[in-house]
Amino acid sequence: MAEILVPRPAATVVTLRERENGYEILMLKRNVLSDFVGGAYVFPGGAVDEADAGDLAQALSVGMTDESCSKVLSLPSGGLAYYVACLRELFEEGGLLIVCDEDGNGIDIKDRVLVDRLNRERISVNDGELGFVEMLAREHLFLDLRNVAYLAHWITPIGPPRRYDTRFFVTVAPTGQHADHDNHETVASRWLRPHDALAMRERGELDLLLPTVRILQSVVNFESAQAVVDHANALKDIPRTEPRIIERDGRVEILLPGDDGYV
């Protein structure tokens, strides 16, 4: 019997921006050479790193503590690391940095010198030459967790070469910043209204994973980005969803809890 992989803790962030014709969501295309979901359009995200749970990460977070984050995620401790991880991945993969100063005042990142320096530091962070929280400390920046809300919880089914225990969050993109893929793990980026993304998937124009589809479906009817965040903040007892991959009548099927044959 093949070894059943233990899912690795991970965090993903559904990043929204307001537009006159309806809010849009940042979608990134995974490199087709990736050994995990290559070619699919996803939300920025990845595994939780040890540094995400460190003392420096906690000291540089505004708006929530490890205790309050853990309570939201129904964990005994360590919840803050998921929030830090999702915003780190947003910066690494999408180039957006949700930060404030020590007193919680917003920071509008427009200064050309600062933007150029952050772009260089992003490359260093992605190359592993500089830690994300160390970069924040160097720039005297603090992660702003006040408008980051917990939205969903999915576990990769048994079978794929990698498995993740992923917490999905939602937030609104900072104004004045430009989102851009990292051109390594992600090779394209686009802002899409949720119903447009779902329609493109139906036409075979967009490769989306099941959790991505279900999350898009869950927010498609909201009128604004902030309404989605408020909805997530109001959710209670978010279920842990772990699909099952089965073979039935010679066909591979993905089942969700409640489906016929799910065990």
pLDDT at 1 over 50: no
53 within domain boundaries: yes
76 within domain boundaries: yes
Residues 52, 181: Cα–Cα separation, whole Å: 21
80 within domain boundaries: yes
26 within domain boundaries: yes
Mean pLDDT of 71-92: 98
260 within domain boundaries: no
CATH of the domain at 132: 3.90.79.10
Domain range for 41 is 8-255
Mean pLDDT of 169-196: 94
Query: Do 78 and 4 contact (CB within 8 A), yes or no?
Result: no
1 within domain boundaries: no
For every residue of 7-25, DSSP letters joined together read: PEEEEEEEEEE--TT--EE
Q: What is the pLDDT of residues 9-21, one digit of tens each?
A: 999 999 999 998 8
Mean pLDDT of 154-183: 92
pLDDT score at 142: 98
2 within domain boundaries: no
Confidence of residue 53 (pLDDT cuts 50, 70, 90): very high
Mean pLDDT of 239-263: 84
Q: How many domains does the chain have?
A: 1
Report the relative pairing of strands 164-172 and 61-62 from DSSP bridges. Answer: unpaired
H-run or E-run covering 119: helix 112-126
Report pTM: 0.94
Q: CB-based burial of residue 44 (10 Å sphere; 0-12 exposed, 13-18 middle, 19+ buried)?
A: buried
Confidence of residue 24 (pLDDT cuts 50, 70, 90): very high
Q: What is the pLDDT of residues 199-208, one digit of tens each?
A: 999 999 999 9
H-run or E-run covering 29: strand 24-30
